[in-house]
Amino acid sequence: MKRAALGVAGCVLAGAVLAPYGVMLLTALKPDAELRTTPPRLLPLSWRPGNFLEVLADPGFSDWLRVSLVVAAASTAIVVLAAAPAAYYTARHRFRGRTAFLFLVLVTQMFSPTALVVGLYREFFELDLVNTYAALILTNAAFNLAFAIWILRAFFASIPKEIEEAAAVDGCGRLGALCRVILPLSLPGLATAVIFAFIAAWNEYIVALTLMTAPERKPLTVGITSYVTAYVQHWNHLFAASVIAIVPVVVLFALIERHLVGGLTAGSVK
């Protein structure tokens, strides 16, 4: 009885979470005429899947999608490459200022890009990087780096040092032990860092709105708002674009989901 109640509660909660996505999908399948009917209907009278094809055929949408993919992938790669050695060193070494460094890393996570957007714009303006990929990539990498260091440090610290000592006996140096032993055992932590960094960069809006002014250089989060303005309201295209924008994140999660549930050191020792 208790298990059944938990199952029902889980289904209700899942339905409440998925309901907005359902409304978004149904709206994306409506023709323009049904968007202004009174009273509004949830289900379309005339299904129009061609809205998705129109959005995909839009050159502007292709540009926005390309920018989002480049920015999110590049910033995620920088985050992982920078966080892994920093987290490994802080997990394995005691040095003067270690606590202050970790505290500083934690404090940087507390700042919102919105609060720093004026300073960021001024800085990138002086460097002539406004309206460039580098501005968004560096900003997203900087704001996601702190979380990645903390999550990877926790994983690295949980791995027994004896495994590294055994690797050293076999001839591995510090770098070899990190690449061949520690990182493979930390795939759940790496997967978490990758997903967090990618989704955060993919969904970022305020900094992109401020730094990217050319229409062809706007990411999806900024570009798709042009479907609904004070003079033009294509709600079906907006929601169709929003549904398509979810796909890369879902695909990424599906590819690395198995690492999230894998054991941290499963099979590493007998």
* Neighbouring residues of 23: CB distance < 8 A, sequence distance ≥ 6: 42
pLDDT exceeds 90 at position 72? yes
- The pTM of this model reads 0.84
Tokens of 254: 């599906």
Phi then psi dihedrals of residue 212, to 5 deg: -105, 110
Select the CATH number that applies to the domain covering 53-260 from these four: 2.40.110.10, 1.20.140.10, 1.10.3720.10, 3.40.50.720: 1.10.3720.10
By C-alpha distance, which of 246, 134, 157 is closest to 198?
246
pLDDT exceeds 80 at position 112? no
pLDDT band at 265 (very low <50, low <70, confident <90, very high): very low
Cα–Cα distances (Å) from 269 to 37, 162, 246, in that order, read 65, 10, 39
What amino acid occupies position 161?
A: K
Which DSSP string do the residues of 139-204 spell out, in sequence order?
HHHHHHHHHHHHHHHHHHHHS-HHHHHHHHHTT--HHHHIIIIIHHHTHHHHHHHHHHHHHHHHH-
Three-state DSSP class for residue 228: strand
pLDDT band at 266 (very low <50, low <70, confident <90, very high): very low
Average pLDDT, the chain: 84
